[in-house]
Structure 1
């Protein structure tokens, strides 16, 4: 599997986790809006508090005053964002002619069979979507430093403390990336593959692509670091 495929899979897992958070917020917001709407309707329609409906001879509410307002509640902001995200993911899935299934799940299933060039484009779309959703819900990127008793060294650039684990999705799908290095007074230096023969050791290495490895491969290389 090429680095393009690994980036696409990692981005798909990340955006699925981020959308789960967005869906949760949309559900909570909708429940709050619905509860508030029902409470307000009961209050405004109560004869005791001055309903505008007709009242029976003994102050009993008529059938008209007992009807609840059946107008739908206003769409919440989170629901709107979730719908927009779903539309974009569905568009990507339809472009890839994915099988029917869960919104992001069918893209995940299709990625391994994509050509490297298509996987690269899919990865860019999914990364953009993940960044957009996480910014909306204020969710940090799903990654953490790869540490251990001794900070591991990047197989490619040989820098220490630059490896991070991308932790979205099941643990057996996690990947490791190198975030590059920065020397004092110097610009950030990304860790990019040099193609076939690169020290990264990746099968299907692609020149110019940011380094990424399956987590299991790096665990074996650093000997016990998580």
Structure 2
């Protein structure tokens, strides 16, 4: 049976994966821009030589321009720097996991189903922290969409949110009220209900429950 801490860890891994993808795209675009700026230097030098009134001296001195170009540092690709920093933190988290050489976030996600609940909880905390750093830089919020017309299995309010990062069969549902599970006897229907944990369900199970179907996730 899926433990809520593992569901939260899976959702956090998928969310961070989506954020890293956006960082990568921004880093590639920034790298292209930096390369284009570097190519501007020869054109500046040529315009000084051929466009100036004098071959040397004063503002038309190509030697002076060459020094200015040479001394100008290349602009740092901040998107790539952040992406690399996050990958380094993930590599540290995944250092004891199998499949060394693969992307560390992929290794972490593959290990989540077998994690002890307390390890999954610590993993969630670390991944959420990195995800928040990335999304602050990206100026984007969590990948969530309202699950309209469906009441929360716990509180009955219609404030459920689908966490839409990753493949659709891995989407999870949380309640925007943020009310915590009361544990055994909570009545929330959350697999392996644990007191004090934020409610989370597989999307397919929530939709299936509304339709009268049995839960589809039992791992």
How far the C-alpha of 1:45 sits from its partner, in A, is 5.5
Alpha-carbon displacement from aligned partner over 1:34-54 (angstroms, at most 9, x marks no partner) = 11111223432574255339x
Range that drifts further, 129-138 or 9-18: 129-138
Q: Paired residue for 2:97?
A: 97
Give the gaps of 5 or more residues in structure 1: 54-64, 181-189
Asked if the contact 2:191/2:201 (under 8 Å) is kept, the reply is no
Per the alignment, residue 170 of structure 2 pairs with: 173
TM-score (norm 2): 0.82
Q: Is the aligned partner of 1:205 residue 2:193? A: yes
Q: CA deviation at 1:203?
A: 2.7
> What are the ranges of 5 or more consecutive residues in structure 2 without an aligned counterpart?
52-60, 213-219
Structure 2 equivalent of residue 184 of structure 1: none
Conservation of the 8 A alpha-carbon contact between 1:45 and 1:52: no
CA RMSD of aligned residues (A): 2.3
Classify the secondary structure of the residue corresponding to 1:165. strand
Which structure has the highest helix share of the two? Answer: 2
Given the two structures, how large is their TM-score scaled by the length of structure 1? 0.79
Deviates more, 1:96-105 or 1:80-89: 96-105
CA distance in 1, matches of 2:191, 2:24: 37
- Cα distance in 2 for partners of 1:137, 1:192 equals 29
Change in Cα spacing, 1:72 to 1:31, as seen in structure 2 (3 Å) is farther
Q: Is the 8 A contact 1:30 1:75 kept in 2?
A: no
Q: Is the 1:2–1:116 Cα contact (8 Å) retained in structure 2?
A: yes
Q: Following TM superposition, where does structure 1 have runs of at least 4 consecutive aligned residues deviating by more than 3 angstroms?
A: 71-74
**Matched residues in 2 for 1:41 and 1:91: separation?**
43
- 2-structure distance, mates of 1:44, 1:104: 46
CA distance in 1 between counterparts of 2:179 and 2:8 reads: 15
Counterpart secondary structure, 2:15: helix
Measured in 2, the distance between the counterparts of 1:79 and 1:41 equals 26
Aligned to 1:77: 78
